[in-house]
Amino acid sequence: MSTPSHTTDAQTWQLQAQNALLKINKIVREMDQSENLEQVTRSFFTLLQSLNIDFQILVIHFLLDAQNYQFVSYQFPQTQKHHFEQYNPKMYDFFRANQQRYRKDLEVNLEGLSSLKWVRERYQCPIRSTLDLPFATGVLSLLSIHPDPFTDLQITLILEMTEVLSTGVKRAQDLSRLETQNQSLKNYSSRLQHMSQLLVQVQENERRALARELHDEIGQALTSIKIDLQMQQELGKQKGIDLTDSIQTVNNTLEQVRGLSLNLRPSILDDFGLNAALRWFVDRHQKLDTKIDLIFNAQDQRYPEHVETACFRIVQEALVNALRHAQSTHITIHLTSTQNALTLQILDDGIGFNVLEAQKNAFAGQSSGLLNIQERTELLGGTVKIVSTPQQGTSIYVDIPITPNTTEKTTNEAHSSRIGR
């Protein structure tokens, strides 16, 4: 079709062209993923048709991989092969040259095409002319059954439309690439979290095994030695044999072994659960100059083993740090449970500290207390908040999710575990 010669027709066509530019601009602005390329190609095809541009087939070749000359192409009207990927070095060279190519009347001059018959069979249409326009992200091709269908004004408009298209395509490809990278990071983070959980579980299993070994094997051996020494002392009284110091040494060693065993993994945590273990731990650390309150707003029930272990270790870390460094006179531990979460609050009235500075030191390897609390919480998908001001005490808030309807199952597992031991 020729450009309208009358002024009114020309103005009408110009308005249609401006409208087409606005529409393609709106379409590409709404592109959020490169998977929308087929939809955009279809819209481009419809817009060109609305301008009465004389063509029968539109093909847009989008560059996928420059290093490997890979393009993904969409053809409209659709055929059985309307969407295909191709390795096409010649297409890439034409794309890089960035020179438009208008082949007129192919029956007279093929202009580089090896066979007009092949082209017509490929597109199932009696093609006589082609218009190829490189743009920033690919090549647009229009195929017509007429020998000279496109005017300079039409070509200029199509070029402007392809420039708008390329902007949207590049943005969509960038978004898709960013989404892929984000997904890769999420997958990596998930794998890293899973490995960390396994490491924590292995550590706890090793602690449990070592604690049992200390208590059952070494503890019993030391108890046997102590009894033998006491018997020898009774038998040797007439001979003036005094084994009091040896017995005391064995007794002190036995207490140290028991202490090590309990610190590694208190059996009360496995046998009776979190509440009982916290009561035992707090009673064990009560001091004359520091009052420790333990408040339960939670039922005395069993929780998943990994949740009980994490909560106990968090309290252990926070309480020991407060006793060692905070110079506090009062420490309060709150444990609250809901159907879906356990909440811990550890509050002290000590000297406090600079949280940001402490976190920097922790990441530098100077102190691991706060980092241990944070990592154990985050491994379970929980949240931790630490509030502290110098000379105004410290508050630690921890929320750990628990799976609904797991307490009965966990109680049964704990019972089975005790029987197995």
Give the best-scoring range by mean pLDDT among 113-117, 341-345, 357-361: 341-345
Query: Is the pLDDT at 384 greater than 70, yes or no?
Result: yes
Residue 138's region, left for phi above 0, alpha for psi from -120 to 50, else beta, is: left
Mean pLDDT, the chain, whole residue set? 81
Listed in sequence order, the residues at least 6 apart from 295 whose beta carbon sits closer than 8 Å to its beta carbon are 332, 333, 334, 335
The arithmetic mean of pLDDT across residues 1-23, rounded, is 66
Query: Is the pLDDT at 4 greater than 60, yes or no?
Result: no
Instruction: Say if domain 269-421 classifies as CATH 3.90.850.10.
Output: no
**pLDDT for the residue 258:** 76
Query: Is the pLDDT at 211 greater than 80, yes or no?
Result: no
Listed in sequence order, the residues at least 6 apart from 152 whose beta carbon sits closer than 8 Å to its beta carbon are none
**pLDDT for the residue 9:** 66
**pLDDT for the residue 164:** 83
Convert the pLDDT of each residue in 183-192 to its tens digit. 888 887 777 7
Give first-to-last CA distance, the chain, whole Å: 90
- Whether the CB-CB separation of 385 and 325 falls below 8 Å is answered with no
Confidence of residue 404 (pLDDT cuts 50, 70, 90): low
User: What does the DSSP 8-state code read for residue 216?
Assistant: I
Confidence of residue 123 (pLDDT cuts 50, 70, 90): confident
Query: Is the pLDDT at 114 greater than 80, yes or no?
Result: no
| Structural tokens at position 403 | 């799976």
| Structural tokens at position 318 | 């926070």
**pLDDT for the residue 338:** 82
Query: Is the pLDDT at 58 greater than 80, yes or no?
Result: yes
CA 125 to chain centre: 50
SS3 344: strand
User: What's the CATH number for 7-182?
Assistant: 3.30.450.40
In 66-144, the DSSP E strands lie at: 70-76, 83-87, 101-103, 129-135, 138-144
- Whether the CB-CB separation of 233 and 247 falls below 8 Å is answered with yes
Q: Which amino acid is at 39?
A: Q
**pLDDT for the residue 5:** 46
Query: Is the pLDDT at 11 greater than 80, yes or no?
Result: no
341-348 vs 383-388, strand pairing mode: unpaired
The full DSSP string for 14-48 is: HHHHHHHHHHHHHHHHT--SGGGHHHHHHHHHHHH
Confidence of residue 81 (pLDDT cuts 50, 70, 90): low
Q: What is the dihedral of CA 368, 373, 375, 380, to 10 degrees?
A: 160
Task: Show me where the domains of the chain are located.
Answer: 7-182, 269-421
Rounded CA separation 94/364 (Å): 55
**pLDDT for the residue 344:** 93
The arithmetic mean of pLDDT across residues 217-239, rounded, is 79
User: What does the DSSP 8-state code read for residue 2?
Assistant: P
Q: Considering only residues 9 and 51, tell me which one the structure prediction assigns the higher pLDDT.
A: 51
